[in-house]
């Protein structure tokens, strides 16, 4: 019997496997896909804090310190800081590197093993996969299989009640070297679209949208091709869904849930790598002594949940409220904000603050909405989270 079965071989699952295996535990990772690091809808951007904390180096394609933001009508605002802010990753290489590290520490991997059922028994967990009808026994299970898994519902943990569809395509470019963000309800209703260069001639183009993501992406690709920014609009997109809220419960008897499956994602941008890895550390730190003490009760597992929520709940709450405000903006209001920013240089003024972070958005949000000009423009003087500023 294994100590822990981890469902999902993405970066969060593999990082957790590496941590637990390095502590001496018998870890099995089950991955539904035939290969690790298959094409995903992830933009692959992380902050420098994330790269430093988790020693992510060899899979970085490009480091960036600026971006170009376009209003619905095409007006441009450029934001920049002197020091590097983010890193663009080779997501396939990241997933595989994390898995290799876990395997080097002794974790076992089985591919093409989609998990269909998890049963919590008195002294073990039984994990059933539907690929070859195999069953695996473990003392505990960690679900890190991404958003949309039916396993959490089967286990009575509830469901995430807000999410957004995403789509992305790899494209050939005319040599774009700067991240571009496109706003507007005709482009990505309530959300945003992006062009993220990965090399001198390649980029990722994608968007988030509540509805019709493929139609919006096709329209965006055609526009970019007409402007000469990409070589062709004839590309094959990938699709995915991103949680905007968290799972009601992320732990139970012999059980933890991590990453996108738990909703540990920034609601402002949809980025989940950093928060997922932070929670993976918390999970491993909680699981290790529980295994040693042979106490895998719901009460003991709840320590993981309490700690990660203590660390992230404020950021997630503020991020979600910010997301809802942004969704409510009309194109006219967005244009007004662009005009005010251009006139007063508000964003670049805020960027001079040394404590602003790519990964922790609450200070940037409060800095922006507290600016009297922006606050008046979007009428947010009575935001429900303003007391969190104190």
**Per-residue model confidence as pLDDT tens digits over 301-353:** 999 999 999 999 999 998 898 888 889 889 998 898 888 777 766 666 655 55
Residue 49 lies in a domain: no
Lowest average pLDDT, out of 35-44, 144-153, 298-307, goes to: 35-44
259 and 331 part of one domain: no
What average pLDDT does the segment 2-28 reach?
A: 98
Give the pLDDT confidence of 188-224 residue by residue, as tens digits.
999 999 999 998 899 999 999 998 999 999 999 999 9
Output the pLDDT for position 352: 57
Output the pLDDT for position 90: 94
- Helix-then-strand count for the chain, H and E: 11, 18
Provide the number of structural domains found in the chain.
3
Residue 84 lies in a domain: no
Query: Over 80: is that where the pLDDT of 361 sits?
Result: no
Query: Over 60: is that where the pLDDT of 356 sits?
Result: no
What average pLDDT does the segment 73-101 reach?
A: 91
**The domain boundary residue, chosen from 208, 242, 276:** 242
Output the pLDDT for position 380: 45
97 and 197 part of one domain: no
Give the whole-number percent of the chain exceeding pLDDT 70: 88
206 and 232 part of one domain: yes
Query: Over 60: is that where the pLDDT of 8 sits?
Result: yes
Residue 75 lies in a domain: no
Output the pLDDT for position 325: 85
200 and 178 part of one domain: yes
Residue 106 lies in a domain: yes
210 and 251 part of one domain: no
149 and 290 part of one domain: yes
Lowest average pLDDT, out of 90-94, 130-134, 221-225, 265-269, goes to: 130-134
Assign residue 224 the CATH number of its domain.
3.30.9.10
Query: Over 60: is that where the pLDDT of 157 sits?
Result: yes
Output the pLDDT for position 381: 34
For the record, the structure tokens of 212 come out as: 């019709």
Vertex 174 angle, CA 169 and 177, to 5°: 80
107 and 248 part of one domain: yes
Band (pLDDT 50/70/90 cuts) for residue 383 is very low
For the record, the structure tokens of 131 come out as: 């690929």
Query: Over 80: is that where the pLDDT of 164 sits?
Result: yes
What average pLDDT does the segment 133-155 reach?
A: 95
Band (pLDDT 50/70/90 cuts) for residue 292 is very high
229 and 367 part of one domain: no
Output the pLDDT for position 371: 52
What average pLDDT does the segment 250-266 reach?
A: 97
282 and 270 part of one domain: yes
Band (pLDDT 50/70/90 cuts) for residue 384 is very low
Query: Over 70: is that where the pLDDT of 19 sits?
Result: yes
Q: Which has the closest alpha carbon to 245: 214, 212, 283, 272? A: 272
Mean pLDDT, rounded, of the chain: 89
Residue 85 lies in a domain: no
Q: Is residue 3 within 8 Å of residue 16, measured between CB atoms?
A: no
**The domain boundary residue, chosen from 312, 334, 357:** 312
- Structural domain that includes position 96: 2-43+90-160+243-312
Q: Where are the alpha helices (DSSP H) in the chain?
A: 11-22, 48-53, 91-104, 151-154, 213-226, 273-292, 298-328, 331-344, 346-351, 362-370, 372-378
Output the pLDDT for position 257: 98
Report d(CA 135, CA 137) in Å as an integer: 7
Q: Where are the alpha helices (DSSP H) in 54-181?
A: 91-104, 151-154
Give the whole-number percent of the chain exceeding pLDDT 90: 72
Residue 6 lies in a domain: yes
Residue 39 lies in a domain: yes
Residue of 384 and 300 predicted with greater confidence: 300
Assign residue 24 the CATH number of its domain.
3.50.50.60
Query: Over 80: is that where the pLDDT of 225 sits?
Result: yes
Query: Over 90: is that where the pLDDT of 249 sits?
Result: yes
35 and 100 part of one domain: yes
30 and 124 part of one domain: yes
149 and 294 part of one domain: yes
What is the pTM for the complete model shown? 0.90
Residue 232 lies in a domain: yes
**The domain boundary residue, chosen from 312, 332, 365:** 312
């Amino acid at each position: 019997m294994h100590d822990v079965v981890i469902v999902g071989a993405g970066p969060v699952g593999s990082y957790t496997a590496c941590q637990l295996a390095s502590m001496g535990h018998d870890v099995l990772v089950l991955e539904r896909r035939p290969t690790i690091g298959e094409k995903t809808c992830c933009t692959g951007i992380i902050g420098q804090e994330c790269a430093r904390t988790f020693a992510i180096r060899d899979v970085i394609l490009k480091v960036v310190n600026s971006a170009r933001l376009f209003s619905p009508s095409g007006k441009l605002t450029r934001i920049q800081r002197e020091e590097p802010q983010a890193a663009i990753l080779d997501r396939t290489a990241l997933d595989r590197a994390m898995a290799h590290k876990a395997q080097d520490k002794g974790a076992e991997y089985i591919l093409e093993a989609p998990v269909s059922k998890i049963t919590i028994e008195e002294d073990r967990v039984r994990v059933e996969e539907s690929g070859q009808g195999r069953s695996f026994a473990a003392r505990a299970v960690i679900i890190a299989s991404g958003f949309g898994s039916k396993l959490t519902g089967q286990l009575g943990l509830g469901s995430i009640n807000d999410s957004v569809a995403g789509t992305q395509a790899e494209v050939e470019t005319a040599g774009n070297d700067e991240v571009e963000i496109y706003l507007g309800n005709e482009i990505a209703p309530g959300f945003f679209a992006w062009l993220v260069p990965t090399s001198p001639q390649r980029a990722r183009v994608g968007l988030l949208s509540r509805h019709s993501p493929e139609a919006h992406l096709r329209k965006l690709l055609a526009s970019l091709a007409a402007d000469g920014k990409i070589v062709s609009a004839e590309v094959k997109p990938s699709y995915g869904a991103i949680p905007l809220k968290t799972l009601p419960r992320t732990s139970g008897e012999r059980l933890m849930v991590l990453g996108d499956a738990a909703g540990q994602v920034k609601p402002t941008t949809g980025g989940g790598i950093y928060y997922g890895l932070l929670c993976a550390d918390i999970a491993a730190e909680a699981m290790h002594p529980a295994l040693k003490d042979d106490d895998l009760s719901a009460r003991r597992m709840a320590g993981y949940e309490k700690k990660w929520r203590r660390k992230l709940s404020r950021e997630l709450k503020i991020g979600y409220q910010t997301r809802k405000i942004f969704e409510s903006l009309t194109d006219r209001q967005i244009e007004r904000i662009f005009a005010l920013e251009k006139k007063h240089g508000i964003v670049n003024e805020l960027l001079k603050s040394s404590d602003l972070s790519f990964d922790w958005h609450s200070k940037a949000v409060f800095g922006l909405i507290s600016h009297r000009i922006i606050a008046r423009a979007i009428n947010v003087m009575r935001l429900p989270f303003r007391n969190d500023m104190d």
